[in-house]
Amino acid sequence: MDDIHEYNAVNSRSRRELPLESLIAPVEIRGVAYNYPALVGSGLLKRLGEDARKYLRSEKCAIISDDNVAVHFAECVMMSLESAGFQPTLITIPAGEKSKTLKHAGEICDQMIAAGLDRHSCVIGLGGGVIGDISGFVGAIYHRGISHVQIPTTLLAMVDSSIGGKTGVNTRNGKNLIGVIHHPSLVIDDVDVLKTLPKREFNQGFAEIIKHAIIADREMFDGLKDVDLENLAPLIRRNIEIKSKIVAKDERDQTGKRAILNFGHTVGHAIERAGSYRKFFHGEAISLGMVAACAISIKKAGLPPDQRDAIVDLLRRFDLPTQLPAKFPRKKIFEGLQFDKKFERRKIRFVVTPQIGSAHITSDVTLDDIREAVGQL
């Protein structure tokens, strides 16, 4: 992990003030043009103001949240920020993917203008990936870019969407088609917030964790069957390291190195679309997509079949689907494939795993291979 460094900037005085749990996992995320810490631990929302103050000079800030999340955590976040001299304004949007639009981004900006936020202010996203993406997008465009703090409240957002700087909104024609890379200044993962997360939402986060294990970390894969759900901070930290290390190699998704994060996503996205984004959660569709990618990996990359079986077993442990319902419209999955970004210029770039812990892109996979693998789901 040469480009991941222990986060040592916390000086020894504030180290003593930190509760023991929060010392477990600060990670420094570094790339060519960015450098920010992710603090991972318990009890971090209560001390958010203090921690944020170390990285931000702003006074005014906007907390962007959704109406599910705000009920649980907005008050605590507001109080903590106020006690550290921030002047927070809470802006909530309706929960769910349907809110990740240019219209909502515009309305958020209007409310920020009305609250007097300027180019020295900052924006804090308090919520799952939807809030992380739209608040980051607002952070990127407001006054041509202000600081953004990510406070992810879903497991998926902690291990995936809050890291890597991709922000954006959906359009009528597709997901994440408008966006910009805007890295946060600070990420705060308070594991306590996961207690209110519905079980199905919690489990879908494990699809991305298992994906990270398959593409980059055999040891983590082996440990996942006995993971301690009461002590998730080390696991979250490890996933942040994996994702940020991959992103640092190919920040703008241009060389194919970042694309290995799309393992299971070619078929997974098509399944999500075929289910009209209602039948399966993202992580569930990715679980199915990974099973298909394993079948293709056996054929095209020499993945041993017993490793595919181990992956399927692990997905099932987290109640993730590994087979399509009998009546699912499989034909629609193929229609969905052509919308996939990985089918650029009609060339299929498919992520395969030759063995758990590694992955690469190949152009050796045909639509027929994918059809066959989906047929077996």
Ligand X SMILES: NC(=O)c1ccc[n+]([C@@H]2O[C@H](COP(=O)([O-])OP(=O)(O)OC[C@H]3O[C@@H](n4cnc5c(N)ncnc54)[C@H](O)[C@@H]3O)[C@@H](O)[C@H]2O)c1
Place of tokens 């949240």: 65
Specify the stretch interacting with ligand X by CB under 6 A; choose among 101-109, 139-147, 195-203, 337-345: 195-203
Q: Which member of 161, 185, 203, 244 binds ligand X (CB under 6 A)? A: 161
Q: Is 286 in the site for ligand X (CB under 6 A)?
A: no
Task: Using alpha carbons, select from 253, 255, 254 the residue that is nearest to residue 243.
Answer: 253
Quote the tokens at residue 38. 């992710």
Nearer to ligand X, 162 or 307 (CB): 162
Q: Is 259 in the site for ligand X (CB under 6 A)?
A: no
Determine contact, residues 266/342, Cβ cutoff 8 Å: yes
Q: How far is the CB of 372 from ligand X (least distance, A)?
A: 28
Place of tokens 């095209």: 300
Q: Is 160 in the site for ligand X (CB under 6 A)?
A: yes
Q: Which member of 7, 24, 53, 68 binds ligand X (CB under 6 A)? A: 68
Can you say whether residue 89 is alpha, beta or left, with left for phi > 0 and alpha for psi between -120 and 50 degrees?
A: beta
Nearer to ligand X, 114 or 229 (CB): 229
Q: Which member of 193, 232, 291, 320 binds ligand X (CB under 6 A)? A: 193
* CA–CA separation, 26 and 200 (whole Å): 27
Nearer to ligand X, 85 or 94 (CB): 94
Q: How many residues does the chain have?
A: 377
Specify the stretch interacting with ligand X by CB under 6 A; choose among 33-41, 158-166, 248-256, 262-270: 158-166
Kind plus residue range of the DSSP H or E element containing 149: strand 147-152
Q: Is 262 in the site for ligand X (CB under 6 A)?
A: no
Specify the stretch interacting with ligand X by CB under 6 A; choose among 15-23, 124-132, 212-220, 301-309: 124-132
Q: How far is the CB of 43 from ligand X (least distance, A)?
A: 15
State the burial class of residue 186 (Cβ atoms within 10 Å of its Cβ: 0-12, 13-18, 19+).
Answer: buried
The residues that bridge with 45 in the sheet, in sequence order, are none
Residue 70, classed as helix, strand or coil, is: helix
CA dihedral 307, 310, 316, 320 (to 10 degrees): -30
Nearer to ligand X, 197 or 373 (CB): 197
Binding-residue total with ligand X (CB under 6 A): 29
Quote the tokens at residue 235. 């696991």
Q: How far is the CB of 237 from ligand X (least distance, A)?
A: 18
Specify the stretch interacting with ligand X by CB under 6 A; choose among 148-156, 271-279, 310-318, 343-351: 148-156
Place of tokens 């966006």: 179
The letter for the amino acid at 16 is: R
* CA–CA separation, 7 and 233 (whole Å): 15
Kind plus residue range of the DSSP H or E element containing 52: helix 48-55
Binding mask 75-104 for ligand X (x = CB under 6 A): --------------------xxx--x----
Specify the stretch interacting with ligand X by CB under 6 A; choose among 50-58, 125-133, 138-146, 219-227: 125-133
Q: Which member of 156, 191, 320, 373 binds ligand X (CB under 6 A)? A: 156
* CA–CA separation, 131 and 358 (whole Å): 31
Residues that bind ligand X (CB under 6 A): 66, 68-69, 72, 95-97, 100, 127-131, 133, 153-154, 156-157, 160-161, 164, 166, 175-176, 193, 196-197, 201, 282
